[in-house]
Structure 1
């Protein structure tokens, strides 16, 4: 819990940074958001950049032109899951997929960061994170951002670099690359090319954190939001919805949505602060206005929303008034020490364990904005569970040191849909059940997933759209229609002009570059929660078993080639004779370094099987694929489970040998001790034999 109290000191730019900023403003090379890092803010559980963000060579439209272009935008957005690591790690994460085939990463959702970055495969100064590092060599669509006058170049002057330094003594640096970015199978948005950072060095908290990297949602040209808006593929808006206390999860939507009629808005001024700010004027506790000057919420950067921050931090005057007002409303509760003795937390016991009943004990807190609109906070929006005492809760609002900024973190927006409407310069709040919201987003208003088409010779694969019922596939040239397992169904999907179709998968299995599939191939969906252990399919061949066996390795190579996998992943499971030849059962397994087959890779394989895209030489005779199915992961046994019989046998044999050797030694010893010892007669006592006298 100590991490939630980390204070990041304010950072000021150096003279050289200011000069660079002035030059960028004069030349219009950097967008207006370049000012983001010229100032800083005391943020908790997020990082405040020390140096200016780097730009890429392409020019970005200014804000007015951007708003003009968005006037005719289409209502497409990227819908993504959020995963609650709030109490353990102090942040929320989402899954992003980079490359072709896609490589999966768990990224911290940070509205205060302006760049997205992940560890690169050649990074020997990166920590051990949740997923494998990004491997540019395995992506057919990766391109480095070449050195140009608008960026800082590497030592060889070949590639643009980036660097982020943070006041808590952590840092991230690496090169800038561009690749296909996918957003998951809940997304209506097709994959897009985007610039991101490929880390080759990280220190401090970045090195030790569990998440792979950062997903920057702030204002800045390297922000994933700005890049999508500049491509005119989404509206200039995004929304976050964090799950409630004890529920977790949530949803993130990149792009515009239709706001609920009762959503409460506050003005957000990008010129006032580079961060997403709101105009908070009053706080009410149990309907009673706090007796404080409204200007207290207007100090420095004003009132800032930051998803990378865990809790809420108020200026001293506001915090003292809020704490006293809250305590005065509590009756029948016992004040207890906090879970961490290093901090003077305000905690109470006796409220019960049911979160839904906290409102019976704790008061409602209202935030009143400049327009008079009011947003109410439930107890879960300012309390967190005591980690050592059941039924106890602690105040999740703290004093922000001597910093006059008001900072509102993730706790304040639990079970609240927050819309960052950058186009109309406002932030909206709508109290809801984020778990139910996400379920409705997954079921309602779902359109077929976009289908990528080849561009610039790039590799692509069929897109997938939600479907669960078996549907027959159009017959192949041989007149045979392949079957489907109940979890898979083909759905026609439209074409797009980008690289890879997204798929939310629990784990990523590295795979080689797939072979391009024909245009118009139907898509097949595997639910995002499904873990694909391996894929089996039956192949009917027109040659006899005796003729097939010598050519088994050759056939494995053809299958691996046409399905886009390594030959080591192709296994022969069964071989039987049939009336017209042979029936062969094959299995496609994950690579040795992976536990699962990535869902996108699995759907790519299924699509090729369904369309009879395994091409064999005529020497194998006629053939057809009979059926296929996905299998759950086989629980890998530990070394002990795999070898325990051998170990037990070795121990038994060793014991038997030891007992035998000991027995032989013991018997010999016993025999030696029991044998009668005969001593020779003393020669001195021998009486000489007398001669026989003749009779």
Structure 2
């Protein structure tokens, strides 16, 4: 389902004024679309990596002073991106949706009886030695019975979250320079709608407000007032996030963002060009209500009626040679075209370029993957991922617009920057560059209680270096459907196991009924001749304890066996399991 995580009605824990948006129901004026978008609509195609020397050198220059560097994980089925955050002492892990339209970070609390079943266990305050409840004061909404501050949130998709406020240590992983910090967050007691049914644990609120994780870190003086997000390309996913300042690449274009104009991150969009021709629109069309809003928690993009009609007509004029077909879901009147082919890198040869022009004259060029999603039932067919925003004059730009684009939210200077790059590869480029602290030194800044625990060795010889790890996965997706996406799956596995993509090799792919059996191998990284015992143990632990996370698009998987081959080739260690895990 397309995510719509801009906050609608807000009862804040600390007093913060936020304007409400129209409710997302078929009977009212809409912010986004008449109904939530169906879950199966996000595509699964690979975008070739951009490996020019210019982009690589820029990635090495990106980082400034202390900041939190975090990997992004995608859920292609439901259209959102998550990152990992640890709360408490000892740390409890959570997968949180990164959302610029939300102003509070929250996770399910152990006391919640109305919370869904999510990726990780609920937060248990009693198990954290550093947890403290936020007691009532003059500047918070108070539960008089408990004497504790409370929060409530409602979103445009009509899901809600409410609970109490607590304070604890929040840590960002061992590849981040930023030390764990005390921060206020929400401990959920009730969640409804998509928040209840989603796989992610909760929300990381990156919006503005006293409870925002950004505002809290900036107020402490530990980071600059800026953060950056980079979402992967069509169907590839993955990406990176940086909390704190970066040095913008020379090719980055900027738009002014007025914090007074709207409670949401906005840009001064003035024109849209299709195939080099400006749409015949009054520039004020993009300035209605909340203006043009950037929202990382929304999947698609939504334009006011006049802008949408002009955009749709201009696109269709350029695609007169394509056949217009019905969309994948009969509940939606999607605009779809067939005959384009399945190679995403070739789409720009058949679909027109689109430019978004800002008031300063700078423009953000959009490739077809920034305004199309793949038809889930017809090969080589694509649909417009830009929709009419009902009767609401707000322009809302969701994640589709910034695929393969590094977006820098420079709050200090009231501007938002855009740089086209390969976001799926950005994390790896930053990880291997000199700007990233090495693993041995990075844990030194984190208290022992927050450092990752050593994985069990699962029978591995402790003193013998490992030459190769092989494993078999049985995935409940047919060979014909899986084979075109095997490269994407390899990338997902590498990201989840925290190894380089070049280390993961496909050995064999066979069909077993309606399922597919895949044999993979993991080799040493780069110039290394072996895999350390600790690394091998960590990888096997993710298999054996069913902690490997694959996108829901691939359904469920079953680990049917793994093999460890020590470098000396004197031992073969084999482990077999019949247990399964839902992706």
TM score, norm. by length of structure 2: 0.71
Q: Secondary structure at the match of 1:79?
A: strand
Call closer, same or farther: CA 1:7–1:116 in 2, change over 3 Å. closer
Provide Cα deviations, 1:99-143, integer angstroms capped at 9, x if missing partner. 222211111111000001010112111111111111122222222
Query: 2:558 aligns to what?
Result: none
Query: 1:259 aligns to what?
Result: 248
Q: Is the 8 A contact 1:111 1:218 kept in 2?
A: yes
CA distance in 2, matches of 1:638, 1:7: 35
Call closer, same or farther: CA 1:7–1:240 in 2, change over 3 Å. closer
Aligned length: 452
Q: Secondary structure at the match of 2:102?
A: coil
CA distance in 2, matches of 1:422, 1:4: 27
Q: Secondary structure at the match of 1:115?
A: coil
CA distance in 1, matches of 2:369, 2:537: 28
Q: Secondary structure at the match of 2:245?
A: coil
Query: 1:198 aligns to what?
Result: 187
Provide Cα deviations, 1:369-395, integer angstroms capped at 9, x if missing partner. 000001100000000000000110000
Higher mean C-alpha displacement, 178-187 vs 152-161: 152-161
Query: Structure 1 residue 180 and structure 2 residue 169: aligned?
Result: yes
Q: Is the 8 A contact 1:109 1:215 kept in 2?
A: yes
Call closer, same or farther: CA 1:36–1:404 in 2, change over 3 Å. same
CA distance in 1, matches of 2:386, 2:217: 34
Q: Is the 8 A contact 1:333 1:350 kept in 2?
A: yes
Q: Is the 8 A contact 2:31 2:390 kept in 1?
A: no
Q: Secondary structure at the match of 1:323?
A: helix
Q: Secondary structure at the match of 1:35?
A: coil
Pairing 1:132-531 to 2, within 5 Å after superposition: 132-166=121-155, 168-444=157-433, 445-447=435-437, 448-449=441-442, 451-452=444-445, 460=449, 530-531=538-539
CA distance in 2, matches of 1:529, 1:113: 38
Q: Secondary structure at the match of 1:460?
A: helix
- Per-residue deviation, 1:11: 5.9
- Per-residue deviation, 1:453: 7.1
* Pick aligned residue for 1:78 from 68, 71, 83: 68
Q: Secondary structure at the match of 1:160?
A: strand
Pairing 1:58-73 to 2, within 5 Å after superposition: none
CA distance in 2, matches of 1:109, 1:633: 39
Q: Secondary structure at the match of 2:442?
A: coil
Query: 1:96 aligns to what?
Result: 85
Query: 1:121 aligns to what?
Result: 110
Q: Is the 8 A contact 1:7 1:43 kept in 2?
A: no
Call closer, same or farther: CA 1:140–1:484 in 2, change over 3 Å. farther
Higher mean C-alpha displacement, 442-451 vs 367-376: 442-451
Provide Cα deviations, 1:311-361, integer angstroms capped at 9, x if missing partner. 110111111111111111114311110001111111001000000000010
Provide Cα deviations, 1:270-319, integer angstroms capped at 9, x if missing partner. 00001000000001001011111111011111101001111110111111
Q: Is the 8 A contact 1:281 1:297 kept in 2?
A: yes
Q: Is the 8 A contact 2:22 2:156 kept in 1?
A: no
Identify the structure with the greater strand proportion.
2
CA distance in 2, matches of 1:453, 1:135: 21
Q: Is the 8 A contact 1:173 1:201 kept in 2?
A: yes
- Per-residue deviation, 1:262: 1.2
- Per-residue deviation, 1:205: 1.8
Q: Secondary structure at the match of 2:98?
A: strand
CA distance in 1, matches of 2:496, 2:320: 48
CA distance in 1, matches of 2:536, 2:265: 32
Pairing 1:32-43 to 2, within 5 Å after superposition: 34-37=16-19, 43=31
CA distance in 2, matches of 1:340, 1:279: 34
Q: Secondary structure at the match of 2:342?
A: coil
Call closer, same or farther: CA 1:276–1:182 in 2, change over 3 Å. same
Q: Is the 8 A contact 1:265 1:426 kept in 2?
A: yes
Call closer, same or farther: CA 1:525–1:185 in 2, change over 3 Å. farther
Provide Cα deviations, 1:630-673, integer angstroms capped at 9, x if missing partner. x999665459xxxxxxxxxxxxxxxxxxxxxxxxxxxxxxxxxx
Call closer, same or farther: CA 1:107–1:461 in 2, change over 3 Å. closer
Identify the structure with the greater helix proportion.
1
CA distance in 2, matches of 1:414, 1:317: 25
Q: Is the 8 A contact 1:451 1:463 kept in 2?
A: no
Provide Cα deviations, 1:390-415, integer angstroms capped at 9, x if missing partner. 11000001001111111100000000
CA distance in 2, matches of 1:138, 1:441: 35
Unaligned runs of at least 5 residues, structure 1: 46-72, 465-481, 488-503, 508-523, 535-588, 598-630, 640-695
CA distance in 1, matches of 2:279, 2:155: 35
CA distance in 2, matches of 1:168, 1:285: 30
Query: 1:533 aligns to what?
Result: 541
- Per-residue deviation, 1:192: 1.4
Q: Secondary structure at the match of 2:449?
A: coil
Call closer, same or farther: CA 1:119–1:283 in 2, change over 3 Å. same
- Per-residue deviation, 1:452: 4.5
CA distance in 2, matches of 1:224, 1:528: 34
**Which of structures 1 and 2 has the larger relative contact order (alpha carbons within 8 angstroms, sep 6+)?**
2
Provide Cα deviations, 1:597-628, integer angstroms capped at 9, x if missing partner. 9xxxxxxxxxxxxxxxxxxxxxxxxxxxxxxx
CA distance in 2, matches of 1:156, 1:276: 36
